[in-house]
Amino acid sequence: MNSLKDSIYANPLGEISAFAFDEKVVSVFPDMIQRSVPGYSTIITAIGLLAKRYAQPHSHCYDLGCSLGAASFSMREQIETENCRIIAVDNSSAMVSGFEKKLRQLPSSIPVDVLCADIRDISIENASVVVLNFTLQFIPIADRLAFLEKINQGLLPGGILILSEKLKFDDDRQNVLQTDMHHLFKKAKGYTDLEISQKRTALENVLIPETFGLHQQRLQQAGFSSAEVWFQYFNFASIIALK
């Protein structure tokens, strides 16, 4: 996906408003996420491979908080199972329009429905694969359990949830170290200290990370029988949860 270079936080801003997935962010999103999330491309590739293995015939694969559809495109490329439908959902209309535009440019035999909706409000049915790739972190903590219960109930036997999140740690030394390493990663990708610190302020109270332990406990409470990290790069991890 080609996109403009992210320079949203390059100049000093008098007031930093809360981060939103608006037109401005959408226009630079592929560049922003690549340069901000360590391991993003690896995770996207793996989501396709997991879908290839877990997509069941005549079932749905959900991409919740799909943004411009990177995970959906990766699943669509890999799935060989008969009669699968990808259902991609995002509540940013700018993201949904951008995704629909890309879909028109790259047609394929696997249907993709793109819905503009809050993922807490949609029904999940007949699902073999559910992807939450860096989305749950934007859902208020109080809503997370009920939302994961809904996903678990919508999954078929043998279904999986792929949950990628920014993590926090119980030990404060780890928080400091991993946060510093993430900032070094962003600097190596060309972001300045000003960009890093202004973006951090914008995301405060918008992106709420939790520890792996809390995620694992909640997934279990929601009905998943197993949840393990399959990938981690500093404070960014991806979890596979089995129904």
Identify residue 101 by its one-letter amino acid code: K
> From the list 78, 133, 178, 198, which residue makes contact with ligand GEK (rule: CB under 6 A)?
133
Distance CA 29, CA 68 (A): 8
Which residue number, 42 or 83, has a Cβ lying nearer to ligand GEK? 42
134 in contact with ligand GEK (CB under 6 A): yes
What stretches of 37-160 show up as alpha helix (H) in DSSP?
A: 40-54, 70-78, 93-105, 141-154
Determine if residue 69 is left, alpha or beta; phi over 0 gives left, psi from -120 to 50 gives alpha, anything else beta: left
Options 3-11, 77-85, 86-94, 208-216: segment touching ligand GEK (CB under 6 A): 86-94
**Minimum distance of ligand GEK from residue 82's CB (angstroms):** 25
Scan residues 27-46 and list those touching ligand GEK (CB under 6 A). 33
Three-state DSSP at 123 gives coil
Residue nearest to ligand GEK (CB): 65
Looking at the DSSP bridge assignments, the partners of residue 115 are 89
- Structure tokens given for 45: 């590739």
Question: Shortest distance, CB of residue 84 to ligand GEK, whole angstroms?
Answer: 18
- 72: contact with ligand GEK by CB under 6 A: no
13 close to 198: Cβ distance less than 8 angstroms: yes
State the residues that interact with ligand GEK by CB under 6 A.
21, 33, 65-67, 70-71, 89-92, 95, 118-120, 133-135, 138-139
